[in-house]
A and B are shown apart, each in its own frame.
Chain A
Amino acid sequence: MGINWLKYSAPQAFYPLAGKLIPWFSIVAALAIAVGLYIGLLVAPTDFQQGESYRIIFVHVPAAWMSMFLYVVMAVWAGFGMGLNARLSFMMAQAIAPTGAMFTFLALLTGAMWGKPTWGAWWVWDARLTSELILLFQYAGVMLLRTSIDDLRRADRASGVFALVGVVNVPIIYFSVKWWNTLHQGASVSMSGGSKMAATMLTAMLVMTFGFWMYSIAVILSRSRCVILEREQLLSWNKSASIPEPVEAR
């Protein structure tokens, strides 16, 4: 390939690239979420066991998957940052944390909304729910460590180590429904056993997941641009025309 990918490991090269990519990921995300909502809310049939409350699955499962996936990606970037001493890697880890935390919160909230009509309780201290709650605390820990340490390099390393150690919780969340006797239902889709859902339901869930994934890329790229501007403020490169003028005149 004629593209020098290494070039984009420099924040000043990554910044305009991210700016060009954001609209495309946003459009794809909006389309996928619209199609997913249409299939999930309007086309998919009812669930014979749970009735219409099962439709929460179309936001709950994608949010929960993103919460775990983003945590791993964040930890991998932090690991790259420490291994290669690359500042863009730490910036990416920093950009991912809030979105991951938001999806963790949404997974817990929509789970409560599903638990109440299905189990009769908003919350139970079951292995799946508890480990997902711990994931929320881990995201909070990663973000708090960063903001509580003034020296950027130390903040990067401390939150990076914390993120990496916490990765052990992700397989625990994922396999909790297998390893322990949980109130939470088992996996709707598994890597080995295929799907237990009707085709339309599965389609809606996968399309929504794809939409959330594309959304995450768009907002994380957008936040990474903010982080670059904030952290590289005093460096000379961004004096160039890469920063658009604000729309309103000052």
Chain B
Amino acid sequence: MMYWGSVSEFLAMGGYGLYVWTSYIVTALCLVWEVLALWRRRAAAAAENRGVL
């Protein structure tokens, strides 16, 4: 069920590799960054709350 013949063919994306991989990598970075930023924000908010007590 695999469409590609080789890894290099897959990475080249028929000559559109730059466009396709930029799209996927930037999307992945944004999602991961959002999750990490939320972890830090929650830790900061929880710490702030303890400071109040």
Residues on A close to B: CB < 8 A?
Answer: 41-46, 51-53, 55-56, 59-60, 63, 98-99, 102, 105-106, 109-110, 113-114, 116-117, 215, 219, 222-223, 225-226, 229-230, 233-234, 238-239, 243-244, 246, 250
Contact = CB atoms under 8 A, between A and B. Distances in A.
Interface residues of B, number: 32
B15 A45 contact: no
A63 B34 contact: no
B42 A219 contact: no
Given A52-B14, A110-B26, 17 more contacts: A41-B24, A42-B3, A42-B10, A45-B3, A55-B13, A60-B23, A63-B27, A106-B30, A113-B19, A114-B23, A226-B41, A229-B46, A230-B45, A233-B45, A233-B48, A233-B49, A246-B43
A46 B53 CA distance: 60
Interface in B22-44: 22-24, 26-27, 30-31, 34-35, 38, 41-43
B16 A53 contact: yes
Nearest to B24: A59
Given A99-B34, A102-B34, A223-B38, A56 B3 contact: no
B38 A226 contact: yes
Given A46-B14, A110-B27, A219-B38, A52 B20 contact: yes
A113 B22 contact: yes
A94 B25 CA distance: 27
A45 B2 CA distance: 9
Describe A's contact surface by its main secondary structure. helix
A53 B34 contact: no
Contacts, number: 95
A250 B43 CA distance: 12
A219 B35 CA distance: 7
Nearest to A52: B14
Contact of B27 (A42, A46, A106): A106
A43 B27 contact: no
A227 B26 CA distance: 26
A105 B50 CA distance: 36
A159 B3 CA distance: 48
B42 A226 contact: yes
A46 B3 CA distance: 8
B33 to A, nearest CB: 9
A208 B4 CA distance: 20
B15 A51 contact: yes
A51 B20 CA distance: 11
Contact of A59 (B2, B10, B27, B35): B27
B35 to A, nearest CB: 7
A117 B16 contact: yes
Contacts of A113: 19-20, 22-23
